[in-house]
Copies of this chain bind each other. A is one copy, B any other.
Amino acid sequence: MASSSAKLRENTPSAGEQAILKAGVKLFSRHGFDGVSMRAVAREAAVSKSNIYHHFESKEALYLAIIKHSADAVSEMIEKLAEGRGELDARLRKFTRSHLEHLFRNATTVRLVLREVLSGTTRLQKAMVDQLIGGLIERLVSIFENGQKAGVLRKGFDPGLCAFLVLGSNLFYFQTDKLRQIEPLNRFSQPPEVFSEQLTDLMLRGMLAGSQEEVTA
């Protein structure tokens, strides 16, 4: 299309810039935008404060660059979420498990994005819902809708709500990771694999007795 075929140069970031971004992710994810000073970022990146302003035109621009980068990473991670094969049961179980795993594997990035999406500015929220949650929800919803069409799942419930429930439970589990080591809570806490296993099981079978009774009463 373009006549000059401008070379899309990949803008390979210098070592310093990478260090700045890395430091920013670490600090902003822990303390939020207001809790981090440019001096602190510079110190963490082992770089002068002025150097940050050489690469980013303001604190906000640095933050936005980091958020954008992190959102891209999370987005990519979402696309790679495994779904399992065959039976709906297996697909859902694998998806849930896979989602939870990836949350913890990319904990720092996820925390950064989560903070922004839950209590950031409206404009950014909109962009991130588009990029992240929308797709996630839609993938889950389609799993449920397929199950309903195939007759494996009851028709009486709302696939959107179920998707919301899976996501919400996983994210809440992630958010309360540190909390669940504290006294009365630790009694009810389970390792991630057990949690997602039981979550899926519960959602599929429900809690009432007499539906599908357990293997060995």
Cβ contacts under 8 Å, A199 to chain B: 161, 165
Contact A172 B182 (CB under 8 A): no
Q: Which of A9-17, A50-58, A123-131 contacts B (4 or more CB under 8 A)?
A: A123-131
Contact A190 B161 (CB under 8 A): yes
Closest residue of chain B to A216 (Cβ to Cβ) is B156
A62 contacts B by Cβ under 8 Å = no
A7 contacts B by Cβ under 8 Å = no
Contact B154 A184 (CB under 8 A): no
Taking the full assembly, how many copies of this chain does it contain?
A: 2
Contact B203 A207 (CB under 8 A): yes
A169 contacts B by Cβ under 8 Å = yes
Q: Contacts A152-B208, A201-B157, A214-B155: A134 and B185 contacting too (C-beta < 8 A)?
A: yes
Contact A209 B152 (CB under 8 A): yes
Distance in angstroms from A52 CB to nearest chain B CB is: 19
Contact B204 A208 (CB under 8 A): yes
Cβ contacts under 8 Å, A78 to chain B: none
Interface SS majority for chain A: helix
Within 8 A of B (CB), among A178-200: 178-179, 182-185, 187-190, 195, 198-199
Contact B202 A161 (CB under 8 A): yes
In the bound complex, CA of A34 to CA of B37 (Å): 11
Contact B183 A129 (CB under 8 A): yes
Cβ contacts under 8 Å, A161 to chain B: 188, 190, 195, 198-199, 202
Contact A130 B183 (CB under 8 A): yes
In the bound complex, CA of A141 to CA of B154 (Å): 27
Could you jot down 24 A-B contacts, CB within 8 Å?
Answer: A32-B34, A34-B34, A117-B179, A125-B178, A125-B179, A129-B179, A129-B182, A129-B184, A138-B184, A154-B207, A154-B211, A154-B213, A157-B207, A160-B187, A160-B188, A161-B195, A164-B169, A168-B168, A168-B173, A169-B169, A171-B172, A202-B206, A204-B207, A211-B211
With A134-B185, A137-B188 given, name 5 new contacts (CB 8 A): A115-B119, A118-B179, A129-B182, A203-B206, A206-B211
